[in-house]
């Protein structure tokens, strides 16, 4: 560090020494002191404001003193010497201004790099958080489950899409698909909050997806979360004789699709208000039988969004694709769906469940 500092001082000091010696060697009537202004200008490019100002003062003092040696204060030479000194003074002031601008640019560059590094670090942490939450589904007797997640091509590698599946105290299984607005660290953090809070609520609220969504909406409001969230919460309940029923509630989310022997059925109902708008808004449960061998597909809108194509057309495409993939193993069904999604405008999360 000391060597670097010494090297930076070498140029402006060298200029002062060189032109001082040159002026003396040229004789009393030969004047080159005006070139001393080069010294503070060089200092402005490598040193701080104080050092630059100091070299300006030294240059001015040396120019004035060598003017005495060169007989530059006589009536015939006083004006020229005054102009030279004025030039050195003005050049020194300009050097300080240039140095100030340089230091500000350097400081701005350092801040920008630090902010970029912090942002990258936050995104890496958010991505780890998101990946840690998008876990494999639990093993549930009588249910086969498969999940998939793909980040959007046009955004960062973090977002707010999530899926979840977990058992309830009653023995039923809760299924969740959700989407937090945004593609950044905030969206990933909000997703983690919503997922954790919903899991806790589901352990104490009766098996009503609508009641779970209502409690989640109020909890997020109480936590100060102002981000919009869409979600579908479903419960698979098994009855006697091997029968099963699906109960679900939809908070502004794309509708689930049920695939059976007769083809695909979009479980289109009037969706309730998405979360984060009005925590007092009414929510409804819907019910449908789940046939043996039937497959339920929950997904986020990134699966059906296409540039310039209405969302309904994307949903119709999904229903047709699922009808053609109905006989495939569940993992192959999910891979087949994603293989046709070549243009991802948004994150894609898929949760597929089959009655076995």
CATH label of the domain that carries residue 182 = 3.60.40.10
List, for residues 250-272, the tens digit of each pLDDT value: 999 999 999 987 789 999 988 79
Q: Higher pLDDT residue, 324 or 306? A: 324
State the pLDDT at residue 9. 77
Residues 186 and 81 placed together within one structural domain of the fold: no
Contact 32, 59 (CB under 8 A): no
Q: Of 84, 113, 142, which one is at a domain's C-terminal end? A: 113
Which structural domain, as residue segments, surrounds residue 288?
134-355
In a domain, 127, yes or no: no
In a domain, 128, yes or no: no
Evaluate if residue 137 carries a pLDDT over 90. no
State the pLDDT at residue 51. 87
Prediction pTM value: 0.67
In a domain, 167, yes or no: yes
Task: Report the domain count for the chain.
Answer: 2
In a domain, 9, yes or no: yes
Percent of the chain with pLDDT over 70: 89
Give the pLDDT band (50/70/90) at residue 322.
very high
In a domain, 105, yes or no: yes
165 strand-pairing partners: 175
Residues 216 and 338 placed together within one structural domain of the fold: yes
State the pLDDT at residue 131. 67
Residues 163 and 90 placed together within one structural domain of the fold: no
305 strand-pairing partners: none
In a domain, 166, yes or no: yes
State the pLDDT at residue 258. 95
Q: Of 52, 78, 113, which one is at a domain's C-terminal end? A: 113
- Structural element, H or E, at residue 123: helix 78-133
Q: In angstroms, rounded to a whole number, what is the distance separating the alpha carbons of residues 351 and 256?
A: 10
State the pLDDT at residue 217. 96
Q: In angstroms, rounded to a whole number, what is the distance separating the alpha carbons of residues 99 and 9?
A: 14
């Amino acid at each position: 560090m000391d060597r670097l500092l010494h090297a930076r001082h070498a140029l402006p000091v060298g200029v002062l020494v060189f032109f001082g010696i040159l002026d003396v060697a040229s004789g009393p009537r030969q004047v080159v002191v005006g070139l001393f202004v080069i010294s503070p200008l060089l200092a402005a490019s490598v040193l701080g404001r104080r050092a630059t100002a100091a070299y300006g003062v030294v240059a001015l003092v040396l120019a004035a003193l060598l003017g005495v040696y060169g007989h530059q204060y006589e009536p015939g030479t006083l004006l020229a010497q005054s102009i030279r000194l004025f030039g050195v003074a003005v050049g020194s002031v300009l050097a300080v201004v240039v140095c100030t601008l340089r230091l500000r640019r350097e400081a701005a560059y350092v801040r920008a790099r630090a902010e970029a590094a912090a942002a990258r670090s936050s995104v890496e942490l958010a991505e780890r958080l998101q990946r840690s939450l998008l876990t494999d589904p639990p093993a549930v007797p009588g249910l086969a489950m498969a999940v998939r997640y793909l980040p959007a091509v046009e955004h960062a590698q973090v977002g707010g899409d999530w899926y979840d599946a977990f058992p309830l105290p009653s023995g039923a299984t809760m299924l969740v698909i959700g989407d937090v607005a945004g593609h950044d660290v905030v969206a990933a953090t909000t997703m983690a909050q919503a997922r954790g809070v919903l899991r806790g609520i589901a352990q104490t609220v009766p098996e009503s997806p609508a009641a779970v969504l209502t409690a989640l909406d109020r909890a997020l409001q109480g936590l100060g979360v102002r981000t919009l969230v869409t979600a579908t919460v479903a419960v698979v309940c098994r009855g006697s004789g091997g029968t099963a029923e699906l109960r679900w509630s939809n908070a502004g989310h794309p509708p689930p699709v049920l695939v059976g022997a007769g083809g695909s059925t979009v479980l289109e109902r009037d969706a309730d208000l998405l979360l984060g708008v009005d925590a007092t808004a009414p929510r409804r449960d819907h019910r449908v039988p789940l046939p043996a061998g039937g497959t339920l597909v929950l997904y986020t809108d990134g699966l059906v969004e296409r540039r310039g194509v209405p969302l309904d057309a994307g949903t119709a495409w999904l229903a047709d694709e699922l009808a053609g993939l109905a006989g495939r193993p569940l993992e192959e069904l999910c891979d087949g769906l994603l293989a046709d999604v070549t243009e991802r405008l948004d994150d894609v999360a898929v949760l597929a469940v089959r009655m076995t």
